[in-house]
């Protein structure tokens, strides 16, 4: 056969033609541009419009930013230095840096305390966020609230110690009795904690705060971005257990409990956060016992916690509903009671499904902490709108301050949402 071919074909190449470069329109950046930017005429127009827009924005913003002044001490001085040229007065950020981060009342020699608490936050939160880390780190997470409290507020060390002791007592009691009966373990644990707090409270001498090694800082003196962080972290962590309880209550078969939870959740979700903050600032004081004063920070924490608990409850309810019915039935058929089934089978799975939703709520809540500026608390936005813009030195600096606030929030929120997406991908592969 090979012979016939040899004779019937005049010429056959014995080797392949060397590869040639593709035409320059079909490869490299030009092809990429043709495919991705100018695929159709309409696309081309869109691209040109977008490029023009980007050019417009950059050409006005870049000179302003690059020509920024970082070292003057007032707007007037900054304008003198700029001498009519386009440029930003970033010196408001350097000069008021501490006020933006810590508020204007936090004692400046104590800035290291919230700073350290902020650093430790990452250590504490890491084992919660990343499952691969050694589980023993969770012990530090458990201790963190007490450490952070002591660092930020200072005062007598007895207070966080007693609080910790109460929690430990409660947890120990719970651990030793939960196997026998959940209700006994839980209620007993709560009672054990309260008893420890009560007894411990007797051991803290009056006025211990005034002589404490760590100077006490009243919560009214908190401010700046620190206040946003603290409100965000405290309220999200407090609202988680509350949200879980509300979600379980809403799924409950007991009509009364279900009604209470539904009314609560729908009420909170139906009103804007700002009205709840009005409640905290002008109304809540009337509902506390006469002659007791609960200061604004705590009232705001209560209202924001309640607010985010309602949203988290809805997310978790979604997670509960998404569990296949077989999980419930399987738990029943093993003879587990409600507490056991919920604790061992249902919640671990439901919570896992709900994590991305919870993270979304947390991001939203963190952004919403800026609303406290409307009720005269000096968070980051409150500092900008109040003391800094009202001061003679910096009256009239808007873009630099607002831009700074925007960047700060963007970094935090974008970071969290990226984490959430990573987690979502990871959880998705876990199931397959």
Partner 1 sequence: MCVWFGAEDLRTYQEEVNMNKSVFFGALTVAGLAVGAAAAGTLDDVKARGKLNCGVTTGLIGFAAPDANGEWKGFDVAVCRAVAAAALGDPAAVEFVPTTGKTRFTALASGEIDMLARNTTWTFSRDVDLKFTFVGVNYYDGQGFMVPRELGVSSAKELDGATVCIQTGTTTELNLADFFRSNNIEYEPVPIETNAEAQQQYLAGACDVYTTDASGLAATRAAFEDPSAHIVLPEIVSKEPLGPLVRHGDDEWGDVVRWTLNALITAEELGVTSTNVGEMSASAGDNPEINRLLGTEGTLGEMLGLDAGWASAAITAGGNYGEIFERNIGESTPIGLSRGLNAQWTDGGLIYSPPFR
Partner 2 sequence: MTTLTDPPLESFRLSMLFNDTRYRSFTFQAIALVLLVFAIGYLTSNLLANLRAQGLQLGFNFLSEPAGYDINQRLIDYTSQSSHARAAIVGVLNTLLVAALACLMATVFGVAAGVLRLSKNWLISKLMAFYVEIFRNIPVLIWIIIIFTIMTAVMPGPRSYLGEDPESNLLLGLFAFTNRGIYGPAPIWGAGSGVVIAVFVASIIGIFAYRRYAKHVLYSSGQMLPTGWPTLALLILPTVLAFFMMGQPIGLDLPDPLANRFNLRGGTQIGAPLIALWFALSIYTGAFIAENVRAGIQAVSKGQTEAASALGLRPNRTMNLVVLPQALRVIIPPLISQYLNITKNSSLAIVVGYADITATLGGITLNQTGRAIECVLLLMLFYLTISLSISAVMNVYNNSVALKER
In whole angstroms, what is the distance from residue 315 CA to residue 305 CA?
A: 15
Query: Does position 208 bind partner 1 by CB under 8 A?
Result: yes
Tell me the two tokens of residue 99.
Answer: 């006020």
Q: Which is nearer to partner 2, 163 or 381 (CB)?
A: 381
Query: Does position 191 bind partner 2 by CB under 8 A?
Result: no
Number of residues that bind partner 2 (CB under 8 A): 55
User: Coil, strand or helix: which one is 179?
Assistant: coil
Query: Does position 136 bind partner 1 by CB under 8 A?
Result: no
**Considering the complex, what minimum distance in angstroms separates the CB of residue 184 from partner 1?**
14
Task: Count Cβ atoms below 10 Å from residue 321 Cβ, excluding itself.
Answer: 11
Query: Does position 37 bind partner 2 by CB under 8 A?
Result: yes
Sort residue 224 into left (φ over 0), alpha (ψ -120 to 50) or beta. Answer: left
Query: Does position 390 bind partner 1 by CB under 8 A?
Result: yes
For tokens 């705060």, the residue is 209
Query: Does position 274 bind partner 2 by CB under 8 A?
Result: yes
Do residues 304 and 273 touch, judged by C-beta distance below 8 A?
Answer: yes
Query: Does position 159 bind partner 2 by CB under 8 A?
Result: no
Stretch that binds partner 1, among 98-106, 316-324, 325-333, 351-359 (CB under 8 A): 98-106
Which of the listed partners (partner 1, partner 2, none) does 357 bind, with a CB threshold of 5 to 8 Å by partner kind? none
In whole angstroms, what is the distance from residue 380 CA to residue 387 CA?
A: 11
Residue positions counted in the chain: 432
User: Coil, strand or helix: which one is 84?
Assistant: coil
Stretch that binds partner 2, among 62-70, 80-88, 118-126, 373-381 (CB under 8 A): 373-381
Q: Which of 402, 422, 424, 428 binds partner 2 (CB under 8 A)?
A: 402
Query: Does position 203 bind partner 2 by CB under 8 A?
Result: no
Residues 225-254 that bind partner 1 (CB under 8 A): 234, 237-238, 240-241
Query: Does position 254 bind partner 2 by CB under 8 A?
Result: yes
In whole angstroms, what is the distance from residue 89 CA to residue 114 CA?
A: 28
Query: Does position 83 bind partner 1 by CB under 8 A?
Result: no
The contact pattern for partner 2, residues 322-351, with x = CB under 8 A and - = no contact, is ------------------------------
Residue (of 25, 425, 298, 166) closest to 174 by Cα position:
166
User: Coil, strand or helix: which one is 20?
Assistant: coil
Q: Which is nearer to partner 1, 47 or 252 (CB)?
A: 252
| Sign of the dihedral defined by the CA atoms of residues 175, 181, 182, 183, in that order | negative
Stretch that binds partner 2, among 161-169, 198-206, 235-243, 284-292 (CB under 8 A): 284-292
**Considering the complex, what minimum distance in angstroms separates the CB of residue 253 from partner 1?**
22
Do residues 216 and 154 touch, judged by C-beta distance below 8 A?
Answer: yes
Query: Does position 368 bind partner 2 by CB under 8 A?
Result: yes
Do residues 249 and 258 touch, judged by C-beta distance below 8 A?
Answer: yes
Query: Does position 255 bind partner 2 by CB under 8 A?
Result: yes
Query: Does position 141 bind partner 2 by CB under 8 A?
Result: no
Query: Does position 92 bind partner 2 by CB under 8 A?
Result: no
**Considering the complex, what minimum distance in angstroms separates the CB of residue 62 from partner 1?**
24
Q: Which of 63, 115, 142, 403 binds partner 1 (CB under 8 A)?
A: 142
- Rounded to the nearest 5°, which phi and psi values hold at 214? -90, 120
Question: What angle separates helix 296-322 from helix 224-251, to the nearest 10 degrees?
Answer: 40
Q: Which is nearer to partner 1, 24 or 399 (CB)?
A: 399
Residues 290-329 that bind partner 2 (CB under 8 A): 290
**Considering the complex, what minimum distance in angstroms separates the CB of residue 46 from partner 2?**
5
Do residues 420 and 360 touch, judged by C-beta distance below 8 A?
Answer: yes
Q: Which of 55, 198, 288, 422 binds partner 2 (CB under 8 A)?
A: 288
Query: Does position 426 bind partner 1 by CB under 8 A?
Result: no
**Considering the complex, what minimum distance in angstroms separates the CB of residue 153 from partner 1?**
6
Q: Which is nearer to partner 1, 33 or 344 (CB)?
A: 344
User: Coil, strand or helix: which one is 104?
Assistant: coil
Task: Count Cβ atoms below 10 Å from residue 344 Cβ, excluding itself.
Answer: 12
Which residues partner with 155 through β-bridges?
214
Do residues 232 and 366 touch, judged by C-beta distance below 8 A?
Answer: yes
Query: Does position 128 bind partner 1 by CB under 8 A?
Result: no
Residue (of 339, 144, 311, 152) closest to 239 by Cα position:
311
Q: Which of 27, 80, 176, 275 binds partner 2 (CB under 8 A)?
A: 275
Tell me the two tokens of residue 290.
Answer: 């006469």
């Amino acid at each position: 056969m090979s012979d016939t071919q040899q004779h019937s074909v005049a010429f056959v190449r014995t080797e392949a033609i060397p590869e040639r470069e593709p035409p320059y329109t079909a490869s490299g950046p030009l092809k990429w541009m043709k495919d991705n930017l100018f695929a159709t005429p309409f696309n081309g127009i869109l691209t040109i419009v977008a490029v023009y827009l980007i050019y417009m924005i950059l050409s006005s913003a870049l000179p302003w930013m690059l020509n920024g002044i970082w070292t003057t001490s007032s707007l007037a001085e900054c304008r003198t230095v700029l001498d009519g040229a386009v440029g930003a007065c970033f010196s408001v950020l350097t000069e008021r840096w501490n006020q933006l981060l810590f508020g204007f009342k936090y004692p400046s020699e104590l800035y290291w305390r919230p700073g350290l608490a902020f650093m430790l936050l990452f250590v504490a939160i890491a084992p919660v966020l990343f499952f691969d880390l050694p589980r023993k780190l969770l012990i530090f997470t458990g201790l963190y609230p007490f450490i952070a409290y002591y660092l930020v507020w200072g005062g007598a060390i007895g207070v966080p110690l007693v609080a910790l002791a109460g929690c430990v007592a409660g947890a120990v009691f719970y651990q030793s009795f939960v196997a026998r009966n959940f209700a006994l373990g839980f209620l007993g644990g709560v009672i054990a904690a309260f008893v420890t707090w009560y007894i411990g409270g007797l051991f803290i001498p009056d006025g211990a705060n005034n002589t404490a090694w760590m100077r006490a800082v009243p919560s009214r003196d908190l401010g700046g971005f620190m206040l946003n962080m603290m409100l965000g972290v405290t309220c999200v962590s407090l609202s988680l257990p509350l949200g879980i309880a509300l979600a379980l209550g809403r799924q409950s078969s007991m009509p009364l409990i279900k009604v209470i939870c539904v009314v609560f959740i729908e009420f909170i979700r139906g009103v804007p956060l700002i009205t709840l903050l009005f409640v905290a600032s002008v109304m809540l004081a009337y509902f506390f016992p006469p002659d007791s004063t609960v200061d604004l920070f705590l009232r705001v924490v209560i209202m924001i916690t309640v607010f985010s608990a309602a949203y988290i409850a809805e997310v978790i309810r979604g997670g509960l509903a998404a569990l296949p019915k077989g999980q419930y039935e399987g738990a029943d058929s093993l003879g587990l009671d409600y507490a056991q089934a919920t604790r061992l089978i249902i919640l671990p799975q439901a919570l896992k499904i709900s994590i991305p939703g919870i993270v979304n709520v947390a991001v939203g809540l963190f952004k919403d902490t800026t609303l406290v500026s409307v009720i005269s608390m000096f968070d980051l936005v409150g500092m900008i709108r109040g003391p800094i813009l009202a001061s003679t030195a910096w009256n009239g600096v808007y873009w630099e301050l607002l831009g700074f606030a925007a960047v700060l929030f963007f970094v935090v929120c974008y970071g969290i949402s990226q984490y959430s997406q990573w987690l979502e991908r990871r959880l998705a592969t876990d199931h397959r």
